[in-house]
Amino acid sequence: MNERSRIHAEEVYVLKIGGSVLTEKGKERTARKDAIKRISKEIALATLHTARKKLILVHGAGSYGHPQAKVYQESGEVEDALVTHESAKELNRLVVSSLMELGLKAMPIHPLSGVVSKGGRIKYKIKEQIELALEAGIVPVLHGDVIMDEKEGFRILSGDQLVVYAAKEFKASRVGVGTDVDGVLDDEGEVIRKITPVDVDKMSIKGSEHVDVTGGMKEKVHLLAKLASENNIPSVLFNASRESNVYKFLTDDENLFGTVISA
Ligand SMILES: Nc1ncnc2c1ncn2[C@@H]1O[C@H](COP(=O)(O)OP(=O)(O)O)[C@@H](O)[C@H]1O
Ligand SMILES: [Mg+2]
């Protein structure tokens, strides 16, 4: 038996907490420390109930990444890409330390150090690190970042793209994406409880209210719909700014309110 098969697919959960939850997206480099703490607690508490499960945590960059990445997009200067990375790492550090303070084993994985692209085609080199972390009972914590491209300087890799990667690579049994809204909203502002990939083309979802260089809700829904149609992996979009939703997601609570995206 291959050593790697020790990680059983059914056990892997992928959870993304959006930058809209962890930071004030309208205020550069401003963390919502209370939200980071509350979510860390919910993760710690839920982990006690689901000791068998493996968790890959991804977070967005929020105001620690989007405004900085926008500067880079406009200038094309290497320095600006590096500033974006430094800043995203700062938020990652807050998240990882908050988990560690609660006794969880958490480990940062910075995409810049392990993902490259070639003309936009992304090559992930972080699989083994994630795998070894999961085997060792560590929560790997990935984040939206800039990555180096073999042809054209730096590119932006979103937390949402990382969710899709991790879910596919580890055949996640549960994928949750937390933002600051209750789910995908229709034109009347009502939450759409279920979306299938065929619905997505007909929908008119907008981007983010704030600077979001990675396409906001629209791109998120497209990526998750593709994950559902091509890999048959469903996901749930929920409000992680509301207390106990992260806990509900991690403990398979049926009362978790949100939008399910499935084939
Ligand atoms: N139809 C929609 N349903 C829900 N949110 C939407 C919709 N259209 C635009 N949005 C915006 O998308 C935002 C969430 O996306 P985004 O800012 O990228 O979150 P994150 O920082 O978590 O990645 C919401 O705060 C909301 O302002
Ligand atoms: Mg976003």
Report CA(44)–ligand 2 centroid distance (Å): 25
The per-residue pLDDT for 113 is 98
CA angle 91/94/99 to nearest 5° reads 130
Going by alpha carbons, the residue nearest to atom 17 of ligand 1 is 208
pLDDT tens per residue, range 134-189: 999 999 999 999 999 999 999 999 999 999 999 999 999 999 999 999 999 998 99
Residue 79 pLDDT > 80:
yes
Q: How far is CA 192 from CA 22, 112, 200, in A?
A: 24, 35, 12
In the chain, the number of structural domains is: 1
Cα of 23 vs centre of ligand 1, distance in Å, is 14
pLDDT band at 2 (very low <50, low <70, confident <90, very high): very low
Please tell me if the CB atom of residue 212 comes closer than 6 angstroms to any atom of ligand 1. yes
* pLDDT surpassing 50 at residue 1: no
Helix (H) / strand (E) containing 17: strand 12-17
The backbone torsions φ and ψ at residue 155, rounded to the nearest 5 degrees and listed phi first, read: -130, 165
* Average pLDDT of the residues of the chain: 94
Parent domain of 46:
3-261
Residues 92, 143: Cα–Cα separation, whole Å: 7
Q: How far is the CA of 208 from the centre of ligand 1 (A)?
A: 5
Residue 219 belongs to domain with CATH number: 3.40.1160.10
- 116 DSSP assignment: E
Report pLDDT digits (tens) over 178-221.
999 999 999 899 999 999 999 998 887 877 778 889 999 999 99
| Atom 9 of ligand 1, residue of closest alpha carbon | 206
Cβ of 60 closer than 6 Å to ligand 1, yes or no, is yes
Position 8 confidence tier, pLDDT thresholds 50, 70, 90: low
Task: Tell me the per-residue pLDDT of 232-243, one tens digit each, with 9 for 90 and over.
Answer: 999 999 999 999
DSSP of 141-200, one letter per residue? EEE-EEEEESSSSEEEE-HHHHHHHHHHHTT-SEEEEEESSSS-B-TTSPBP-EE-HHHH
Ligand 1 centroid to Cα of residue 190, in Å, is 14
Indicate if the pLDDT at residue 3 is higher than 70.
no
